[in-house]
A and B are shown apart, each in its own frame.
Chain A
Amino acid sequence: MTDGRAVQRSGGRLKPPLVFALLTLAPSPLVAQDPAQRALDLERRGDPAGAAALWRSVLAERPTDLSALVGLERVLAPLGRLPEMTDAVRTASARDPSAGVLGIAIRVWTAARQPDSARAIVLRWATAEPASELPYQEWGLAAYGMRDFPTARAAYLLGRERLGRSGALAAELGQLGLLSGDYASAAREWTRAMADNAGSRPAAIGLLSQTPAASRGTLLAELAKGGPLGERLAAGLEVRWGEPLAAVRRLEGTPDALADLLSDLGRAPPQPETALARARVLELLASGAPLPDRARLRFDAAQAYAEAGDQTSTRRILALLARDSTSGSFPTLAAASAMLGVLVEEGGLEEADRRYRALLPQLAQEDRERLALRLAQGWLRQGRLGRADTLLAADSSVEALAVRGKIALYRGDLAAARALLREAGPFTGDRASATHRIGVLGLLQVVDPDSLPALGGALFALERRDSAAAARELERVALSLPPDRGGAELLLLAGQVQQGLGRTADAERLYRAAIAQGVPAGSAAAEFALADLLLKSGKKEPAIAALEHLLLTWPTSAVVPQARRLLDVARGAVPSS
């Protein structure tokens, strides 16, 4: 071996001859150790033949030495030579009836395919420990390790018979059924296991959930025959398999089991169906609960329904909750606020407005502003800019400024919109709305006029999800503006709206029009959008050409890093994510 730093290093190291001398003078560690230590050392060094010989020498002197028996088993098992230990275990088990020795004997006889000898040892062990499942577990596991499923099953059934409990070794038999594809048997055994030990439910669900889709029907049908315990297990599996509503239907008539189901649903991946199932369970639990628990459960159910997007059920539960609340057992305000939110989402703004005004005297300022903001956003979506503005007139919070900025924008008062949105700042609201606001501000910076109702109308159409009208109007306004004073940016925006509508031809036309305007910021961004569109349409080569044109034409544009990344993706140089 040559070493680039050998010259520099040699001064700080022992010279090779000296190292040799020290080694030859030191006593050999192998000579000083006993055979067991030497055997372990040889095992570590990867010399199983030498280690086996040493373990055998230990056993020749001490036939019941458990360390040596275990060591020899450890060395021979990976080589497939465990049957060579039959003499050793015959001698050892004759002299020592301890569990450790008998366990090794069972494994060796099983590996040697001598089930009668293994069975004799199991029975001997079982006689010494009549209440223990261990001898049968040891035998079953050893047989399973040999892929000898019939012997493993026989071992467990022998144990069950001798132990006299129908639930004995049920988990082992259940697992065996599962592994051998006998799902009906697996279902029966795991139900027995749960009857024997309620704590085995998570293990049962974890293992049975691996049942292939084609066999799940058989499994569930068999579980249903197993009474309430089987039904509980089946429901847990349905949750695991992404069918939480089926699980709720299964347990609707058994309130005691619903708490378990709620816990299963809490661990399930978040999705609308899970939220809906959770809401339904909470509602069922609430119907049988006394106050004040009932009100709390109903409130949770209403929230879960809202989370699942089921506004009708949310309203229904909130109405029930309002009845509960009249008894004074639950905060009226919380329920009323929740109801107001539901009404806004449903578009019932007149009723929401009426309820809001009725609640006003009881509301703290913070709650008042929060509800007014929500109501104003509802009015804004319905195009009632005046009512929205009135609600927020006295509110100087940054959230209100952001909404008022949007109102000014939709009225075409660009000067006021600029001022209000700038004042609202970049951090107000959630990430999406903040990003949108900054994007709008960026657009307003390049558009000169202080008033442009046509642009306000176009953006308002977008807010109201009338995207087709918005795109048409944006294109019309864009063509009326100079390219470098918002023209290119609005064409890009119009293209993005068209793309969102799935009108890729229109989007491509608008992007290309924006690129043709040759404005560094807007045109580069449009070319990036065009490339992205082309790539998503499977047009790889034109996408690459667009990106190359972008990078070569506007090398200092802000979109260059994204463009390079997309170019890498288009060329297959990096994984697409």
Chain B
Amino acid sequence: MKRREFVGSLMGGWTGGRLGLGHLTAVRSAPSRAGWFLVPMDDTQSDHLKAYGLTFRVLERGGRAEWFLNYRYGSFLLPADPAVQRDATLAGVSVVPVDEGQVATIRAEITQGNMEAVPLEKAPKVAVYAPPNAAPWDDAVTMALQYAGIAFDKIWDAEVMGERLRTYDWLHLHHEDFTGQYSKFYLTYAGAPWLQEMVDRNQRMARELGFPNVPAAKKAVARSIAGFVERGGFLFAMCTATETLDLALASDGVDIAATFADGTPMDPSAADKLRWEKALAFQGARLELSPAIAVYSEIDGHQVNAADRRQPLGAFSLFNFSAKIDPVPTMLVQCHRQVIPDFYGLSTSFSRATLKPGVTVLADEPGAPWVKYIHGERGQGTWTFLGGHDPEDPQHQVGDAPTDLSTKPHSPGYRLILNNVLFPAAKKKELKT
């Protein structure tokens, strides 16, 4: 389901009046008479992350579910059939059997508060943009999907430049450097085998795709991804993929890559030539000119790899939205914690001054000149950017041991990631008139 279809049906439902009865009917038709399972997402939940996978798999099997926004911190209502019972027991997800009367009481509470019941009806087809041999433990989203048990395909430049991207609803960008500068680790990690392998692989792919160098290839990939969003796709990016995607889009025809990447130095006045109207989220940022500093621009508020500019980590707060008027941002911030410890990445946060008008801020650090979590639209689709690398490894370094999510089943930061995976599944049934 593409974003236009989703929003259209959502708003159609809303403008039609109260929703409770209509979407209740929609879900009622699916389960047996055994009743329902409420999957609470407050502190009684034994595994918040796997609860998303449980819900996703109900949709995959053709079942329907509901997302109770702001009710017990974003609970789910699932049919109480044996498959769900089995899946919940295996996954260790807490479920509470509820009968029709209890569901009616919950709906009444939802109707009266800043809450909403959103039907979920189709599991989105998920793709993760990652190099073929990327370690699964190197990317928070991949880890979250694998832990929760949400199926996904891995795609890379060849698939993005072909037609395959059109077959997916949701795309996550592994922390790729779309400026084609290998995360600007080229000088710092010179000689490291993993870097050499990354360089070789990217150069080979650029040649295969017919581009003169890696930065040129990555710009084309970035344009293709922007096209995916324009056509109605859901895009989610973290860490450096956020900032570099926009820099790649804005630098069409401008050399922003260092000599080691494309054989020519960066254009010293590149910043003045950037075409920000092509970018998704950012505008007016100045660029980091040193090829030896793994920083791209002033979009990132924390500048973790610039010793004299690095900002300390604080905590970020999720915003409260009106569940009935703004269900999309409400879905994206469902969490059992309002304040979450911050975590570094190559791009940790986004300077407020560089945000385009119309960007929705989902979370920020109060009082700081940066925000953490943003969302916006492009054409018929949407994009969401979350700064930082790994919510449970605040100072992740190259070569660090991977995060084991079985020890972090309640991670609020990882919940934010999984909100994004599930939100394209949401659709409100239009009221019968």
Binding site for B on A (CB under 8 A): 1-5, 45-49, 78-80, 548, 551-552, 555, 560, 564-565, 567-568, 571-575, 577
Contacts and interface: CB of A to CB of B under 8 A. Distances in A.
Contact of B90 (A47, A551, A572): A551
A48 B406 contact: no
Interface string B282-319: 00001111111000001000000000000000000001
B357 interface: yes
Nearest to B333: A4
A567 B92 CA distance: 11
Shortest beta-carbon contacts, A-B, top 8: A4-B319, A46-B286, A49-B268, A1-B355, A575-B402, A78-B290, A574-B406, A573-B146
A572 B152 CA distance: 13
B320 A46 contact: no
Contacts of A1: 352, 355-361
Contacts of B136: 572
Contacts of B91: 564
A79 B289 contact: yes
A46 B288 contact: yes
Given A572-B146, A574-B147, A574-B406, A567 B360 contact: no
Given A1-B355, A575-B404, 13 more contacts: A1-B360, A2-B359, A2-B361, A3-B319, A4-B362, A46-B288, A48-B289, A78-B291, A548-B90, A551-B92, A572-B146, A575-B401, A575-B402
B405 A4 contact: no
B359 A568 contact: no
| B contacts with A: majority SS | loop
B329 interface: yes
A2 B374 CA distance: 10
A3 B89 contact: no
B86 A78 contact: no
Interface in B249-289: 259, 265-266, 268-269, 271, 286-289
Given A49-B269, A564-B406, A573 B361 contact: no
A83 B156 CA distance: 41
Nearest to A9: B366
Contacts of A3: 319, 361
A46 B271 contact: yes
A2 B268 CA distance: 33
11 contacts: A1-B357, A2-B360, A4-B319, A78-B292, A79-B268, A552-B89, A560-B92, A568-B406, A573-B405, A574-B404, A575-B404
A45 B286 contact: yes
A146 to B, nearest CB: 14
A2 B352 CA distance: 11
Contacts of A552: 86, 89-90
B288 to A, nearest CB: 6
A565 B407 CA distance: 9
Contacts of A575: 137, 401-402, 404
Nearest to A5: B319
B52 to A, nearest CB: 13
Interface string B84-95: 001001111000
A572 B405 CA distance: 12
Contacts of B131: none
Contact of A4 (B90, B265, B321): B321
Given A1-B358, A574-B404, A80 B89 contact: no
| Max count, chain A CB within 10 A of own CB: residue among B319, B326, B352 | B319
B149 interface: yes
Given A2-B358, A564-B92, A575-B137, A48 B320 contact: no
Nearest to B330: A4
Interface string B354-396: 0111111110000000000000000000000000000000000
Nearest to A3: B361
Given A1-B356, A551-B90, A79 B265 contact: yes
A79 B292 CA distance: 11
A564 B406 CA distance: 9
Contacts of B266: 79
B23 to A, nearest CB: 24
A551 B92 CA distance: 9
Contacts of A560: 92
B289 A46 contact: yes
Contacts of B289: 46, 48, 78-79
Contacts of B360: 1-2, 4
Contacts of A79: 265-266, 268, 289
A48 B268 contact: yes
A113 to B, nearest CB: 17
B297 to A, nearest CB: 8
Nearest to A565: B406
B373 to A, nearest CB: 11
A574 B407 CA distance: 10
Contacts of B329: 4
Contacts of B271: 46-47
A2 B358 CA distance: 6
A2 B322 CA distance: 14
B352 A573 contact: no
B360 to A, nearest CB: 5
Given A1-B359, A46-B271, A46-B286, A573 B149 contact: yes
A565 B146 CA distance: 13
A78 B290 CA distance: 6
Contacts of A564: 90-92, 406
Contacts of A45: 286
A568 B137 CA distance: 14
B265 to A, nearest CB: 5
Contacts of A571: 149
Contacts of B326: 4
A89 B333 CA distance: 59
Contacts of A573: 146-147, 149, 405-406
Most chain-B CB neighbours within 10 Å: which of A78, A80, A551? A78
Nearest to B285: A46
B320 A555 contact: no
Nearest to B292: A78
A111 B428 CA distance: 66
A347 to B, nearest CB: 42
Interface in B145-171: 146-147, 149
Contacts of B265: 79-80
Contacts of A48: 268, 289
B268 A577 contact: no
Contacts of B357: 1
A51 to B, nearest CB: 10
B379 to A, nearest CB: 19
Nearest to B91: A564
Nearest to B286: A46
A121 B358 CA distance: 59
A82 to B, nearest CB: 12
A123 B287 CA distance: 41
Contact of A568 (B147, B268, B291, B358): B147
A555 B359 contact: no
A572 B89 CA distance: 19
Contacts of B361: 1-4
Contacts of B90: 548, 551-552, 564, 567
A577 B319 contact: no
A183 B84 CA distance: 66
B330 to A, nearest CB: 9
Contacts of B287: 46
A95 B216 CA distance: 47
A3 B363 CA distance: 9
Contacts of A47: 271, 286
B241 to A, nearest CB: 21
A49 B271 CA distance: 12
Nearest to B360: A2
A5 B317 CA distance: 11
B357 to A, nearest CB: 6
A314 to B, nearest CB: 38
A191 B146 CA distance: 55
B116 to A, nearest CB: 15
A4 B86 CA distance: 39
